[in-house]
């Protein structure tokens, strides 16, 4: 068994301010990668800019990362800043900016990189150092080497084959305070899916269980917040971030499985938020899993059984009526992907996959 987690993590109040010196240690010229608005409204951008200024570092800003960033965006950013002598990259935001930051750091290190390079495992994978500052509570990208990018040529999302782990992750729950309830719910369900998929996984180990169990215990404490039974407090925001980070550690070891693979089609074709798309397939996935493992996971995350979990998803998401042709596309594609069919910890054939996809949500 192995457990590889090269990311230096700090989680605390005023985390960025407290660790300005660690940020400045990566060089004197940073590229900040983020989206169009949230980092500028939740205070995270200002915190990073102040920290860089304090350490005498200059910075450039790329704030054009879209939801589910494309390979085009990454390559364009690499081209735009290739002559700026960037020392390190800072990703601020949810999974989209953080994933984009990793890929951009790779492209800046290898200016010759093109689309094929991103998906060619024979190419060098070294990148500029990356710092990640999460402002949502779902992807756990701050502790994984994965960069999921939209491939318009294939009309889906695919992980870049190169693993780029951040050198530093700075986690502060305060950035969730201005996030919408919808965003928090979508993100939190994504985090829980990471945990379930990492455990019900052919590559799961005791070390994966270690991180996953810590994540589920944190997640269970905020279930009532997600269900709308009480308002979130400072500690709840910290727990949401912590659960996401532990979930990220879990998938960094074993990876995701069927729900994530299936979800990308709904996100690309229907524009369904990632957390909702993944959540749609979770009841069917859990239903196909061995009962003892399924029940252990559900109880650790605060649910008595699968029916209670499904009821929770319906409460927070509402009914989701997915067009039959979209489910058929997802089914047909994944059934021909042997790697994904074998990713679960239990046998998956066409009939089992049908149960996951057509779960009568």
pLDDT tens sequence across 152-179? 999 999 999 999 999 999 999 999 999 9
All structural domains of the chain: 8-175 (3.40.50.1970), 180-357 (1.20.1090.10)
Q: Residue 337's CB: how many other CB atoms inside 10 A?
A: 12
**DSSP states of 162-188:** S----SEEEE-GGGGTTS-HHHHHHHH
Residue 240 has pLDDT above 90, yes or no: yes
Residue 236 has pLDDT above 80, yes or no: yes
CA separation for the pair 69, 90 (Å, rounded): 16
- How many degrees, rounded to 5, is the angle at CA 14 between CA 247 and CA 166? 45
- Given a cut of 90, is residue 230 above it in pLDDT? yes
Residue 360's pLDDT is what? 77
314-352: pLDDT as tens digits: 999 998 999 999 999 999 999 999 999 999 999 999 999
pLDDT at 361: 77
- pLDDT tens-digit readout, 102-133: 999 999 999 999 999 999 999 999 999 999 99
For residue 43, give both structure tokens: 């205070």
pLDDT value, residue 74: 98
Percent of the chain with pLDDT over 70: 100
**Quick one: pLDDT band at residue 26, thresholds 50, 70, 90?**
very high
pLDDT for position 333: 96
What is the mean predicted confidence (pLDDT) over 226-255? Answer: 98
What pLDDT does 239 receive? 98
What's the Rg (C-alpha) of the chain?
19
For position 359, what pLDDT does the model report?
Answer: 87
Cα–Cα dist 287/79, whole Å: 46
Would residue 131 be called left, alpha or beta, if left means φ above 0 and alpha means ψ between -120 and 50 degrees?
Answer: beta
Beta bridge partner(s), residue 242: none
Q: Is there a contact between 76 and 91 (Cβ–Cβ < 8 Å)?
A: no
Per-residue pLDDT of 51-110, as tens digits, reads 999 999 999 999 999 999 999 999 999 999 999 999 999 999 999 999 999 999 999 999
Q: In the structure, what pLDDT confidence band is assigned to residue 45 with cuts at 50, 70 and 90?
A: very high
Q: Which two tokens stand for residue 78?
A: 């690499």
The position carrying tokens 């502790």 is: 143
Closest by CA position to 280, among listed 299, 265, 295, 294: 265
Mean pLDDT, the chain, rounded, equals 97
């Amino acid at each position: 068994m192995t457990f590889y987690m090269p990311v230096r993590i700090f989680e605390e109040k005023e985390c960025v301010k407290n660790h300005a010196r660690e940020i400045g240690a990566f060089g004197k010229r940073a590229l900040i990668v983020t989206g169009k608005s949230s980092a500028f409204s939740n205070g995270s951008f200002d915190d990073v800019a102040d920290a860089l200024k304090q350490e005498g570092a200059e910075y450039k800003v790329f704030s054009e990362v879209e939801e589910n960033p494309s390979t085009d965006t990454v390559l364009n950013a690499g081209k735009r800043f290739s002559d700026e002598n960037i020392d390190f990259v800072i990703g601020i935001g949810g999974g989209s900016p953080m994933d984009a930051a990793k890929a951009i750091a790779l492209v800046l290190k290898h200016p010759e990189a093109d689309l094929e390079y991103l998906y060619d495992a024979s190419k060098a994978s070294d990148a500029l150092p990356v710092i990640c500052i999460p402002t949502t509570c779902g992807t756990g990208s701050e502790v994984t080497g994965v960069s999921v990018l939209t491939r318009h040529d294939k009309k889906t999302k695919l992980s870049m084959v190169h693993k780029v782990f951040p050198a530093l992750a700075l986690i502060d729950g305060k950035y969730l305070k201005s996030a919408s309830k919808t965003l928090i719910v979508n993100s939190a369900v994504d985090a829980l899916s990471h945990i379930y998929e990492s455990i019900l996984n052919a590559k799961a180990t005791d070390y994966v269980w270690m991180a996953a169990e810590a994540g589920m215990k944190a997640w269970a404490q905020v279930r009532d917040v997600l269900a709308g039974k009480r308002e979130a407090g400072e500690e709840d925001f910290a727990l949401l971030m912590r659960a996401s980070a532990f979930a990220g550690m879990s998938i960094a070891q074993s990876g995701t499985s069927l729900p994530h693979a299936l979800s990308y089609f709904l996100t690309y074709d229907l524009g369904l938020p990632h957390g909702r798309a993944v959540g749609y397939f979770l009841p069917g996935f859990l239903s196909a899993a061995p009962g003892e493992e399924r029940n252990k996971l559900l109880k650790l995350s605060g649910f008595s059984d699968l029916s209670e979990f499904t009821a929770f998803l319906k409460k927070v998401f509402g009914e989701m009526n997915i067009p039959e042709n979209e489910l058929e596309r997802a089914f047909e594609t994944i059934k021909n992907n042997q790697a994904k069919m074998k990713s679960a910890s239990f046998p998956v054939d066409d009939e089992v996959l049908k149960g996951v996809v057509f779960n009568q949500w």
